[in-house]
Structure 1
Amino acid sequence: MTLFSLARKNIARNFSQYFLYIASMVFSIVIYFTFVTLKYSDTIAEQTASSQKLGTMMSGAAVILLLFVAVFIAYSNSFFMKKRKKEVALYALLGVRNRQIGFMLFFENLLLGLVSLVVGVVLGFLCSKGFMTILIHLMGYDVIAPFTFSEQAALNTTVVFLAIFLVTSFQGYRLIYQFKLIDLFHASKKGEATPKPSMMATIIGLLLISTGYWLALQDIITSKVWQAVGFLMIALIILTTVIVGTFLLFHSVTGFVLTVMKKNEKWLWKGLHLMTISQLLYRIRGNARTLTVIAVLSATTVTAGGAVYGLYYNINDQVTSANPNTFMYEQTDEKIDQKVSAALTDLTYDENIEALSITFNTQQLSSALNESDKKIYTVINEKTYNQIAAIQQKEKLFVNEDNAVILDIGYDERFSPKYKGKTISTESNTEITFQSYKKQTVLNTGTSGIVVVVSNNQFKVLQKEGEVLKYRVIGVDQASVDLSKKIARYLPEEAQFSSAPQDFQIGIESVGSLLFIGSFLGLVFLAATGSIIYFKVLTEAEEDKSQYNMLHKMGVGAKDIRKSIASQVFVIFFVPLAIGLLHSAIALKAFSSLLMMDLGKPVLIWMIAYTVIYGLYYILTVASYNRIITQNNRTEG
């Protein structure tokens, strides 16, 4: 029997144990192959206006994925090697030479990698149409992508993953030379170093996390701490304090909680609570590093995905706020207006309005902001505002004489002028005082900019001082980008044409591609995260077989054993998830505040989706753990 055939038989015999590892590698290869395929896709280049930018993003995502997958495969491989050390020791004890054992492990790992690579590329090709269609749909295009097989993508994927598999296979080959025979026999009993809980470590851990949270929740614009220390340094401090604090949390805080639970004797002696708590005390402390990695990975995945999905979710509201009219432009030629009219269909309204472009002295507004003392505003009267507002189903506005209301959709009380009560004046010293401001507008900001609404009488006075502008505002039911492009061809550049469909397409194209990349990278991170815990827990299941078998012989029922297993695995799975979700909630709260955007609903949806998929790994792990214990109990009696 050759070493290669022995490696193949080992894989076949232990396939159930290798399945999740292979599945995670296959999924990673599928995603990597998809990203590289999309990078070279002619369909994407033809359909999107930002194909070059998308190609760069795909390349960057592929590099991030590659680094992560390489670490994940090496980490997972170390788990399997630890599990195989006793088997390796038996081969050595039977007289098999170290070189032969090393080559067997080398071939075994390489064969797993090659199988994963072939399956991943084939599935990547079969799924490429679906993935490409999803991307195009997220970017706002209604196109069905064709099946495409990119030889460049296949070659790129093969070379990259073969290199990874060769490195990890060599890691297996070196195993036999790294340990003494006695160490290999006892390797499965060695976990991470088990630290003792410390009150000082508990206090420091909680203080570090609290410090990180406090810094993250400070307003970046107004915080004196952020201004004094600097953005990059503060970000680094937050990451360091939260990660170190999380490690100390698993190192000591959870240990103290479990110790307090252990003191409740009335509860402790019910069922298998004593064994469950004792096992958890060891598992939590002994796996502090692994659980910290899981918590940080979960936080990173949820934060990045939630932020991008939040942006995607709010695109329509942002575009509608900036462009309340489907189309708007400055009228320059009657013949051009006729051409535009001929192109329009499904009109809901079509209005011509008069406005003024006036340069104001804004010293009272700009002194605190260190800006120019002069600004050009578009001025309309109260009648015009209410005319358009009625069409757009907005509230009426009443402006007092010599007063004005400013329409500033980008208003932010942290750095925008305090408009109310402030006075601006024209070149001839005609003064108007702001009675209020509104974070909405009735004109498209791309054409008119910030708008000032004055009384009808005041508007007549200002007509003598400003340039008169004629605007056309148009509402179209279900307008398309094609119609927008058609109208744009008729208009000169000075018309300052603004289009809601066009702005929506630009926004959804850029954020949609980010959402696609973020979602699939997040799925890979989630798959790897779940797999790491799965490998870790099942390794521990092998160690616990004798303990559960002893309980079985003592008459403990299978139901109680399953309940104990489910409780232990639940804590190992969901404590780091809960910590990760809390970290991400704080980060997303800070992100939401920075962008002045409500991310609550999209972030909640993203968190629920992540938790549901993560929960499937928990169910699979518990089922596998129970199967190992049950089979052992049947074998041992």
Structure 2
Amino acid sequence: MFFKLIFKNVRRSIKDYVVYFLTLALAVSLFYAFNSISSQPGLSRLSSTMKQMTDTMNQYIGILSKFIAVILAFVVVYANQFIMKRRKKELGMYMTLGMDKWRISSIFVGEIVLVGLFSLIVGLGIGILLSQGLSLLTLKVFATDVSSFSLVLSVTAVKETIVNFAIIFGVVMIVNTHSIFKVKLIDLLTASRKNQELRAHNKGISFLLFATSALCIILGIYILLSTGLSKETLPKVMVLIGVGILLFYYTASSVMISFVQKNKRIYFHGLNAFLFRQIGSKLQTNYLVITVISGLLLCSLVVLSSGFSIIGKMNNLMNKSIPYDVTIVLPGIKDKVTPLEKSQKDGVHLQENLKDYSESVFYVSDYTYGDIFAGQVVKLANVDKDLPKSTVPFMSETDFNKQMVLQNEKPISLSKNQYLINATYKNTLSYVDHFLKQHKKIKVAGQELTLQRSEPLNKTIIAFVPIGANDKGTIIVPDEIASKLIPDAYLLNGLYKVNTNKDLLYRQMNKAWSDSIVNKSIIYMTKDVQQDSYFGIFGVVAFICSYIGLVLIIICLAVLALQQLTETQDNKERYHTLSNMGADGKMICNTLFLQIGFYFIVPLIMAMVLSMFITRAVLNEVESFFQMSIGLNMGVSFAIIIVLYIVYFIATYESAKQIIIEQTIK
């Protein structure tokens, strides 16, 4: 009878468990999908550097999964409290009939375990499908041959998911049992009679606080866009935006009702008077909850959009910004030994493995970056504070064209008295561009040169970190002028043959030149090593951001849905009164639909608008660190959150409608 009662209760109350089931199933699917990444066989073919990156990512995801499981446990507890509140009379009836609290607790625990097991099975099924797409994306992100992808079921991820699932239900069972043992019978039997009143606020103060909220948010965004995520201003920005959101929701009900009441045709149309009072009551009572939800939604959109923006940039940047398989620089020319000659001398089999290469020379004169920056207000990062005193590198037209031919780029052509500037470094690019816009002449080797074009070239000469953005400004001059300058460094860029053993060749370089790197007598880098380390970091950050963002969105939507269902349960007597006054079922359902829709949409709009500014500020910091331009990609994250919103909204509306239909709509 005990198990029959559990099955019967679950079947009878299935609509009460919709949000509960949905949250658990989505959480389980995400747990499995992200924890199964390491089981993809294609990842075993990664290089040692990239393998280390994926291992780090999996460790972080594993730790985050435990932390998120605890957070989700409290969300599930919140859902369970709604279900208990919904069935207080039933619980009171059990107690009236003499059932002890241990047996009552066992029934409720049995119900949530039964629903939980079903959500675990469904969630694992969704997670297995989701993990295949996620594994394919992982192979693309970490620059591995996608043909190595294969369908796989991760037993380890299944075990990890079950462990996280057990953590959630361990917390739920403890809290659920505690709640039942402390409840009083009289509270259970009279729970539906308790109600809530809408407090009146001073209109003048409400409008003043509402205007203050808008001012705080605008000022916070302005400071953020002006100063970025600096340590000095970030706390001020967080306080301003946080206070702005809090004041907005605190005063929104009074402001909204004041405006609507002035338009009698709208206010007294249908059930609008009831609708706006209900919305106002919810905003006034739950402004702290809505503020927290808006903050969490904002955080989830920022991390999710940042992750997708970074992923979108990675593959394009990888192919575009590393045009060479190997780059070697010999600074400070002394014995006139070229990179190829040095490799042969030191036992590095480089030339035999190159299908094409180009060797060039950098020259210097007394011309400095300070000469380029002259007359400008220059603000450089601390790492570049001595740059104005540094000499500008020069390269001959022929040597520059060698690098362009190696990249299949169009070569340049200079007259004997012309020059060009190549620049890709973000922190100096604007100053170089301003210099060129002035069409300034320069004097090199006793000869005056005029500018050929007023925009800097944007070509990769040296493929070192920061990839594609490391040229602070290189002046390209005719060969005749370059021959009169002082040679400063040799440069070699090369492309490997198809059958080259890249790992062996790089080990030879490390063995021969590791000591030379310390004293900076040689600098060398390969495309594979840069991809592995540079893009490996990006991959780890992007996947962790996506994981956290998705889980935060599910938590927010679960809390929103449960908040609405709880409010509907508390106010079902009001809907019953509307029915007695002559309102038909369609009018009541439309009112309920608009009420829940408003409660869902308001925090979403706030989070979406603010996330665009904050995500841009975050990406600016990433761009500054990695010296690259990352486009803002909000479309994917917005699409994901809208789809999840629709699913949760439909589930919430249908469950809320069921609560009202029970005794109100005939």
**Deviation sequence 1:432-485 (CA, Å, 0-9, x none):** 9996773622423329955332233321211xx2146364465x9xx9998866
1:443 alignment partner AA: I
User: Which residue of structure 1 lines up, in the alignment, with residue 461 of structure 2?
Assistant: 443
User: Which residue of structure 2 lines up, in the alignment, with residue 409 of structure 1?
Assistant: 425
Rounded to whole Å, the distance in 1 between the matches of 2:499 and 2:285 is 58
Residue among 345, 353, 356 paired with 2:362: 356
Matched residue SS, 2:656: helix
Rounded to whole Å, the distance in 1 between the matches of 2:656 and 2:592 is 7
User: Which residue of structure 1 lines up, in the alignment, with residue 588 of structure 2?
Assistant: 561
Number of equivalences: 610
From the superposition, tell whether residues 484 and 45 of structure 1 become closer, same or farther in structure 2 (CA, over 3 Å).
Answer: closer
Which residues of 2 match residues 280-359 of structure 1 at below 5 A? 280-319=279-318, 322-324=321-323, 331-333=339-341, 339-341=352-354, 344=355, 352=358, 354-358=360-364
Residue among 538, 548, 554 paired with 1:521: 548
How far is 1:564 from its partner? 2.2
Deviates more, 1:105-114 or 1:244-253: 105-114
From the superposition, tell whether residues 423 and 185 of structure 1 become closer, same or farther in structure 2 (CA, over 3 Å).
Answer: farther
Matched residue SS, 1:304: helix
**Deviation sequence 1:117-150 (CA, Å, 0-9, x none):** 5665576567655543443333332122453443
From the superposition, tell whether residues 180 and 245 of structure 1 become closer, same or farther in structure 2 (CA, over 3 Å).
Answer: farther
Residue among 139, 143, 158 paired with 1:140: 143
User: Which residue of structure 2 lines up, in the alignment, with residue 347 of structure 1?
Assistant: none
Which residues of 2 match residues 152-231 of structure 1 at below 5 A? 153-187=157-191, 196-197=200-201, 198-199=205-206, 200-220=208-228, 226=230, 230-231=231-232
**Deviation sequence 1:553-610 (CA, Å, 0-9, x none):** 5554544334322221221111110011122112013224432666565123422332
User: Which residue of structure 2 lines up, in the alignment, with residue 23 of structure 1?
Assistant: 22
User: Which residue of structure 1 lines up, in the alignment, with residue 97 of structure 2?
Assistant: 94
User: Which residue of structure 1 lines up, in the alignment, with residue 566 of structure 2?
Assistant: 539
Matched residue SS, 2:425: coil
2:433 and 2:455 in contact (8 A); partners too: no
From the superposition, tell whether residues 519 and 543 of structure 1 become closer, same or farther in structure 2 (CA, over 3 Å).
Answer: same
Flag the structure with more relative contact order, 1 or 2, with Cα contacts below 8 A and sequence separation at least 6: 2
Matched residue SS, 1:355: strand
Residue among 620, 639, 643 paired with 1:608: 639
Which residues of 2 match residues 362-373 of structure 1 at below 5 A? 362=368, 364=370, 370-371=385-386
Matched residue SS, 2:464: helix
2:321 and 2:463 in contact (8 A); partners too: yes
Rounded to whole Å, the distance in 2 between the matches of 1:481 and 1:11 is 64
Rounded to whole Å, the distance in 1 between the matches of 2:69 and 2:431 is 41
Deviates more, 1:359-368 or 1:160-169: 359-368
TM-score scaled to structure 2, two decimals? 0.77
1:353 and 1:470 in contact (8 A); partners too: yes
Rounded to whole Å, the distance in 2 between the matches of 1:129 and 1:205 is 45
Rounded to whole Å, the distance in 1 between the matches of 2:427 and 2:351 is 37
1:625 alignment partner AA: A
Deviates more, 1:366-375 or 1:507-516: 366-375
1:525 alignment partner AA: L
How far is 1:404 from its partner? 6.0
Instruction: Return 5+ residue gaps in structure 1 as ranges.
Output: 345-349
From the superposition, tell whether residues 414 and 329 of structure 1 become closer, same or farther in structure 2 (CA, over 3 Å).
Answer: closer
Instruction: Return 5+ residue gaps in structure 2 as ranges.
Output: 330-338, 514-520
**Deviation sequence 1:266-292 (CA, Å, 0-9, x none):** 222223222221221112222222322
Matched residue SS, 1:461: coil
Rounded to whole Å, the distance in 1 between the matches of 2:499 and 2:464 is 17
Matched residue SS, 1:469: strand
Matched residue SS, 1:453: strand
**Deviation sequence 1:160-191 (CA, Å, 0-9, x none):** 43243222222222223434333334445668
User: Which residue of structure 1 lines up, in the alignment, with residue 518 of structure 2?
Assistant: none
1:256 aligns with 2:255: yes
User: Which residue of structure 2 lines up, in the alignment, with residue 461 of structure 1?
Assistant: 484
Residue among 395, 398, 405 paired with 1:380: 395
Rounded to whole Å, the distance in 1 between the matches of 2:411 and 2:596 is 56
2:168 alignment partner AA: I
Matched residue SS, 1:271: coil
2:59 alignment partner AA: T
Rounded to whole Å, the distance in 2 between the matches of 1:159 and 1:593 is 39
From the superposition, tell whether residues 398 and 76 of structure 1 become closer, same or farther in structure 2 (CA, over 3 Å).
Answer: farther
2:360 and 2:492 in contact (8 A); partners too: yes
Residue among 539, 547, 550 paired with 1:512: 539
Deviates more, 1:192-201 or 1:576-585: 192-201
From the superposition, tell whether residues 305 and 270 of structure 1 become closer, same or farther in structure 2 (CA, over 3 Å).
Answer: same
Matched residue SS, 2:475: strand
Matched residue SS, 1:380: strand
Rounded to whole Å, the distance in 2 between the matches of 1:166 and 1:155 is 16
From the superposition, tell whether residues 293 and 119 of structure 1 become closer, same or farther in structure 2 (CA, over 3 Å).
Answer: same
From the superposition, tell whether residues 124 and 317 of structure 1 become closer, same or farther in structure 2 (CA, over 3 Å).
Answer: closer
From the superposition, tell whether residues 460 and 194 of structure 1 become closer, same or farther in structure 2 (CA, over 3 Å).
Answer: farther
How far is 1:300 from its partner? 0.9
1:548 and 1:561 in contact (8 A); partners too: yes
How far is 1:10 from its partner? 2.0
Percentage identity across paired residues of the two chains:
19
Aligned-residue CA RMSD in angstroms? 4.3
TM-score scaled to structure 1, two decimals? 0.80
Rounded to whole Å, the distance in 2 between the matches of 1:23 and 1:610 is 15
From the superposition, tell whether residues 193 and 372 of structure 1 become closer, same or farther in structure 2 (CA, over 3 Å).
Answer: farther
From the superposition, tell whether residues 215 and 470 of structure 1 become closer, same or farther in structure 2 (CA, over 3 Å).
Answer: closer
From the superposition, tell whether residues 440 and 9 of structure 1 become closer, same or farther in structure 2 (CA, over 3 Å).
Answer: same
How far is 1:110 from its partner? 4.3
Rounded to whole Å, the distance in 2 between the matches of 1:191 and 1:457 is 91
Rounded to whole Å, the distance in 2 between the matches of 1:527 and 1:480 is 47
Rounded to whole Å, the distance in 2 between the matches of 1:373 and 1:617 is 57
1:358 and 1:377 in contact (8 A); partners too: yes
1:621 aligns with 2:652: yes
From the superposition, tell whether residues 121 and 565 of structure 1 become closer, same or farther in structure 2 (CA, over 3 Å).
Answer: closer
